Amino acid sequence: MNLLKDPWLPFSNQNGEIVYRPVSAIALPEVIDLALPRADFQGAAYQFLIALLQTTYAPGNIDEWIDRYQSLPTREALDQAFEGFTASFELDGNGPLFMQDRNSLDKESPTLSSSLLIDAPGASTVKSNTDHFVKAGRAESFCPDCAAIALFTLQINAPAGGKGYRTGLRGGGPLTTLVLPTDPGASLWQKLWLNILDREHWQYPEPDPNSFELFPWMGPTRVSDKGQKTLESDVHALHPYWSMPRRFRLMFEEGGSNCDLCGRESGRVCRTIKARNYGNNYDGPWTHPLTPYRRDPKKPAEPALSIKGQPGGIGYRHWESLVLMDTEGSGNLPARVVLDYARKVDESRHDSISLSRQARLWVFGYDMDNMKPRAWYGTQLPLLAAPQADQDRLLDWVRDLVGLSRDIAWQLRKQVKEAWFSRPSDVKGDTDFIDKRFWELTEDEFYSLLFLLGERIQEGNVKRIPPDLAARWYKHVRQQAVTVFDQLALSGPPEALDMKRITSARNKFLYQLKNGKTAKNFRKQAGLEDATLEQEPGETANP
């Protein structure tokens, strides 16, 4: 099967129809999305297509980028761009095979193809029955289409896999952030193209389809049995899109069977694979254009680390780290494609059709606990691409808002526990849900204010956060916090409630909301007079 010619990816049309087509279907205006059978495959398939476009069809400069964003290419134009690369995208056969070792790994004994799935139960998890994603024995036969995307998904996300089984280039379980248009009905082409970088801004040598510095499967593997490293300087600039930390060969057999992943019947199936350790040992300061990183500003010599999936998920408190660069303070390095979107918006201002400052940010990845996945996480956040010149100020303003809610969330958890228990500091167990409810209740208002801040920031060079918007936030988060406190503190059977303890905790909470250091600083920072905040939350209500 050839991944540039054969119909191996499921595309969905405007009318909801799902059709398996060749990759050039991304040029069809009626195609609006992909429809892979698993969420991690869906994220990987987007990355496959972005990688393919960046490698074979990258625009020379921003004008060409804009032209191609506005009008879809023809399928013929894409096929022509892919033409020279087809030999590098064979999944089975005698030559080099996509994302597989050049060595046939004959001496290795076969293992189940399900070990390609990051959430597949290993021997230990089958025994302890913690395999909550894939039920043991349920994913045995993969059709070639699913085998191809499973292989790619593992190579780009590879967690630590035991002795010599190397971790992915971005570290195990990296977050990926992609820029999407606001309209979910936009063409798949636009969804992909927003994540393509132009070659005037990112200069690299012409990609050579036969080079193993670009496609590691095109040559012998850089074996790492003595700890040998694969460094950024060893390979082509686009190698991170095609990184291959693991050594595999897929074993295909004839004989019809239904694929355990997509459910379709297939004449050829992959039930086993061969694997060997000591593949590419990615080390050093790698950055991947689709992943956010963080550098410790106190240790500038150390490489930046990719941001990983987190227990508790991603919310507006993480927004700044995914969107706004801050090399001095927090060390945030958002994904290159996200930073570049703001530049594209700035530069398209002079064009006949300008890009919107508002878009969506799709954030996804595994939340890994070393080798074991805790969960797959995927969400979309509003993206505001502020003018590049104003981003530092926006960062200060966003920090003012989030700093206040962070402090309130902390106080809220503390005082709800005081209301519930006579010795709250002894309480064991997970109380994250207390803050979680508060974060959820304040999320919509945060993004409403964010877009308003985005408009104000362009109106003039005011340093301070606009007081009216700050006051709106100040009132909103305090009101929501008191609501959550009252709901939670008074939940439970009436006979278990200690009203004296609840009232005391509530009063302490209200006092902190008004007189705590963060609250006072916020008012000072925003220039809020006490008169604008006459109505204190909870003052009229009695628990």
Residues lying near Zn ion in the complex (CB under 5 A)? 143, 146, 259, 261-262
C-alpha 350/C-alpha 69 separation (Å) is 16
Ramachandran angles phi, psi of 141, nearest 5° = -110, 125
Closest CB to Zn ion among 262 and 359? Answer: 262
Structure tokens at 267: 């004449």
Q: Cβ(416)–Cβ(488) under 8 Å?
A: yes
| Closest distance of CB 141 from Zn ion, Å | 8
Closest CB to Zn ion among 63 and 140? Answer: 140
| Closest distance of CB 45 from Zn ion, Å | 13
C-alpha 248/C-alpha 97 separation (Å) is 10
Reported as type and span, the H/E element at residue 365 is strand 358-369
Closest CB to Zn ion among 20 and 410? Answer: 20
Q: Which of 267, 221, 273, 215 is nearest to 239 (CA)?
A: 215
C-alpha 48/C-alpha 265 separation (Å) is 24
Closest CB to Zn ion among 261 and 384? Answer: 261
| Closest distance of CB 267 from Zn ion, Å | 12
Closest CB to Zn ion among 114 and 321? Answer: 114
DSSP state of 135: -
Beta-bridge mates of residue 21: 9
Helices 391-420 & 432-456 angle (0-180, nearest 10): 160
- 58: alpha, beta or left, given left = phi > 0 and alpha = psi -120 to 50? beta
Structure tokens at 266: 């297939």
| Closest distance of CB 236 from Zn ion, Å | 31
Closest CB to Zn ion among 37 and 378? Answer: 37
Structure tokens at 157: 């996300």
- Scan for tokens 């919107």, then name that residue: 356
Closest CB to Zn ion among 143 and 175? Answer: 143
Closest CB to Zn ion among 205 and 263? Answer: 263
Q: Which residues have a Cβ under 8 Å from the Cβ of 520 and sit 6 or more positions away?
A: none
Tallying the residues shown for the chain, one arrives at 543
| Closest distance of CB 39 from Zn ion, Å | 15
| Closest distance of CB 305 from Zn ion, Å | 35
Q: Cβ(365)–Cβ(176) under 8 Å?
A: yes
| Closest distance of CB 144 from Zn ion, Å | 8
Q: Which residues have a Cβ under 8 Å from the Cβ of 488 and sit 6 or more positions away?
A: 416, 419, 434, 437
| Closest distance of CB 261 from Zn ion, Å | 5
| Closest distance of CB 40 from Zn ion, Å | 14
- Scan for tokens 């006459």, then name that residue: 534
Closest CB to Zn ion among 141 and 348? Answer: 141
Q: Which of 399, 430, 414 is nearest to 481 (CA)?
A: 414
Closest CB to Zn ion among 135 and 520? Answer: 135
C-alpha 100/C-alpha 487 separation (Å) is 55
| Closest distance of CB 480 from Zn ion, Å | 45
Q: Cβ(38)–Cβ(17) under 8 Å?
A: no
